[in-house]
Structure 1
């Protein structure tokens, strides 16, 4: 099967300003793909291009297996859905009336069946008759998701779907995204919540006008950061150089606090046992020996702050 989204050397200029510059990436079918970057990085512009709302200045793309060309716009739009940060509901209409209106725009066959299925998917079947303006923001987000599911999209673009939601409402959205993944829906997720992206996404791309990097979080962690062990002892070592120097796969060390040590290593599986034996031989009271953990947020800040690409995949 062809990729859900294929982008090749895509660029978009607005006058003298470059919003997206020579961006290339692939999104596999059934993947949750995170699209990350600071404000003004080109994320929304890229989504608007892929959603057929604006034309690129150069480059090519395909969405749901269809080349991104003006003549193919209607067919692409039938196969995708876009949920912006503000879902754009008619607040004086009920939940069901909103969905009936949008089902009519899609020209759906059996709209009542599709509305019922979409409401069930977001656990809102019992709120169908309520006016949207009377719902909490979290519930309105769910209505927006139901609207995006009406046409059973192959590719679902979600722009900050949990923005402004409390933790419980955000968790409900996460559960829905996990459910859609299991159904084979491709989800293109833009978010500023990096912990959310790390939890949900199979791969992430980091944008800053150009594509900085793309890959799984563990891959990016290995590209951006060196392997390291963090050692904590109950009291400072009298002579840490004697303990750590010359150990297999240990490339260097530095004190990290009064009784903490950061060790640069080339192979964690070799270094950790050697460090443990050396500490025991030195009669140190060891509290912990752990691999250094770097989150997606650490990776993101390193790339954005240093303005250096980490490669592509």
Structure 2
């Protein structure tokens, strides 16, 4: 697999507060690389350094084997991004005008019918001629994503892209991201803390916790390495949790012999939500 981005010993602090602490990783062409972490973990700071919006304190960022600094402004021809809490669109323009503006910026010719189709796909067609000042957060997020897709960039950064989206728009976005990666060989770098996004999209994951890498690897490996099956017995007075099936069955038998009222006995697989909570607690 071709290496697109390589990060080596990257660090960043704000006012002596370390945000990113000596991390190293690489991103491969055509993969969906998801950066996980709770609020304050350093996800957005990392994305901004990868986009040359923020300068790192130390470490190296390479694109296609060359330092990011050698590209200058050309880095923005190779990349496109939607950043959380950033003004990704213009409030004084209508939805159509925003799309036309960004299409012109990227030197792309786009017909009005194509614009309306994009807006309809994200349930924004009725707001096509409304100024963004009147949009909800979810509506603004949808339009930001549409505008980011107008640039036919090789690498797409999506910072918490599904925040504020309703169920249908969320599903449509996930389908679109997957299609861009698998059918068009786009490299997608996406930050999130939403587990449905992770499950639907992740090829590999990087788990950031307090600025450090807690896990880096394939999503399947992340689940396998952290999965835990346990057996839960609930009586009318107590609960018992055992990780060994044989011991659980013996305990159940003993409780029955003691005339305990068994409310439930079930096998439980740890969810990704539980795995992440444990990681964050340990950080």
Counterpart of 1:219 in structure 2 is 221
* 1:264 counterpart = 2:243: yes
Q: Decide whether aligned partners of structure 1 residues 41 and 232 sit closer, same or farther in structure 2, where only a CA change above 3 A counts.
A: closer
**TM-score, structure 1 length as denominator?**
0.72
Counterpart of 2:207 in structure 1 is 206
Cα displacement string for residues 282-301 of structure 1 (whole angstroms, at most 9, x for unaligned residues): 999997653x3222222222
Q: Decide whether aligned partners of structure 1 residues 224 and 62 sit closer, same or farther in structure 2, where only a CA change above 3 A counts.
A: same
SS at match of 2:39: coil
SS at match of 2:158: strand
Query: RMSD of the alignment, in Å?
Result: 3.6
Counterpart of 1:294 in structure 2 is 270
Cα distance in 1 for partners of 2:65, 2:75 equals: 7
> What pairs with 1:1-313 in structure 2 (closer than 5 Å)?
1-63=1-63, 65=64, 67-86=66-85, 87-106=87-106, 108-110=107-109, 112=111, 116=115, 122=122, 128-183=128-183, 184-207=185-208, 208-224=210-226, 227-230=228-231, 258=238, 262-265=241-244, 290=267, 292-307=268-283
SS at match of 1:4: strand
Cα displacement string for residues 160-198 of structure 1 (whole angstroms, at most 9, x for unaligned residues): 212233334333333332333333322211123234323
Cα distance in 1 for partners of 2:186, 2:120 equals: 17
Please report how far the alpha carbon of residue 229 of structure 1 lies from its aligned counterpart in structure 2 after TM superposition.
3.8
Contact 1:217 1:296 in 2 (8 A): no
Counterpart of 1:253 in structure 2 is none
Please report how far the alpha carbon of residue 89 of structure 1 lies from its aligned counterpart in structure 2 after TM superposition.
1.8
**TM-score, structure 2 length as denominator?**
0.78
Please report how far the alpha carbon of residue 41 of structure 1 lies from its aligned counterpart in structure 2 after TM superposition.
1.9
Larger relative contact order, structure 1 or 2 (CA cutoff 8 Å, min sep 6):
2
Cα distance in 1 for partners of 2:275, 2:104 equals: 44
Contact 1:47 1:157 in 2 (8 A): yes
Query: Over alpha carbons, which structure has the higher Rg?
Result: 1
Cα distance in 1 for partners of 2:277, 2:21 equals: 21
Cα distance in 1 for partners of 2:93, 2:214 equals: 43
Cα distance in 2 for partners of 1:169, 1:110 equals: 25
Please report how far the alpha carbon of residue 148 of structure 1 lies from its aligned counterpart in structure 2 after TM superposition.
0.6
SS at match of 1:70: helix
Please report how far the alpha carbon of residue 111 of structure 1 lies from its aligned counterpart in structure 2 after TM superposition.
5.0
